[in-house]
Amino acid sequence: MPPERLSTRVRMRDASFRVFRAFPRFRGKALLGIWLYRNVFSGAEEDAPFATVHMRDGSRMRLDTRSRTERWAFVAGEYEPRLTPVLLSLVRQNATILDIGANVGLMTVPLGLLAQRLDGYVHALEPVQDNFARLTENVEINGLGPSVACHRIALGSASGSVDMHREDHHCASAGNAVVATGKVLQEDGLRPTDTVQIETLDEWAERTNLTRCDLIKIDIEGYEYEFVLGARHTLRAFRPIICGEFNWYFLKQFGHTFADFEPLLAPLGYVPLSISRSGLSRCEWAARREDALLVPEDRLQEVAERLGSSL
């Protein structure tokens, strides 16, 4: 929408949060920003849902302020401030990185910017059409075409097709999506969105002639167990670090817990590490985790050095 046609409420919203995003990071900043949005600028997203935002890392993101996920990034100018620095610290020279569950690119773009500087490459995988369209737009406006490839595909334990359900929040153009099966079909706040193609990581890696994989970021709303089932050959061959959000609630909806990863990954030499405000530490497979690193034992020293941690 041309600036002259924006409502006063929208112009005030955009100007106010431009200043707010520039504030130094402090604990609770995003929560305060969300409170301000709801109590001062609520309704502006109906006048102008989209905004192109200059993020704190220097990137630009086209964000839909109707989406809960994207609104957090809109107000704070960053996404997952605890997890993102950890993820970026693990990117090494010439790295090949997989962003699985890339959504609209909130992790893909920072990874792509760093990969561009380090002569690396990012494969961003996102199956839902609306999310994928926004992902490719955000990659393009940051000039990341030479360093990022976007793939519209889901990864799981077998090839075929699956139905996806997506959060239904104020008619947002994109949102978190989940494979529609089992108890997920009974979830409130989710609506059918796409039937998508799915294959295993092992099949995808062979089909795309993947020759290297250093780091995997994964956020697929509880479907991580199925992903690992179909990824063991690739994990054994390339020994990537896995950085993920293991959503305990959705894992439970698929009949799993974090402990179920142990028989799959421990034989491959993987060790779980907890990511928390206090830093990085070893944890038990039986613990309920959200943000975690799964690290091959032979790369533990590398991780400790990169993150300044003793493991």
Q: Exposure pattern of 225-236 as b/e (b: 16+ CB <10 Å)? A: bbbbebbbebbe
Residues 288, 11: Cα–Cα separation, whole Å: 43
Tell me the residue ranges of DSSP E strands in the chain: 50-54, 60-64, 96-100, 121-125, 148-151, 154-155, 160-167, 177-179, 190-199, 215-218, 241-245, 270-276, 279-282, 291-296
Q: Give the span between the Cα atoms of 229 and 203, in whole angstroms.
A: 12
Tokens found for residue 22: 């520039």
Per-residue pLDDT of the chain (311 residues; tens, 9 = 90+): 455 556 888 999 999 999 999 999 898 999 999 999 999 999 899 889 999 999 999 999 999 999 888 999 999 999 998 899 999 999 999 999 999 999 999 999 999 999 999 999 999 999 999 899 999 999 999 999 999 999 999 999 999 988 877 766 544 444 455 554 555 445 555 666 788 899 999 999 999 999 999 999 999 888 899 999 999 999 999 999 999 888 888 788 788 889 999 999 999 999 999 887 777 888 888 777 778 999 999 999 999 999 887 76
Please tell me whether residue 288 adopts helix, strand or coil conformation: coil
Residue range 83-307 forms a domain whose CATH class is alpha beta
DSSP state of 186: G
- Residue ranges of the domains in the chain? 3-76, 83-307
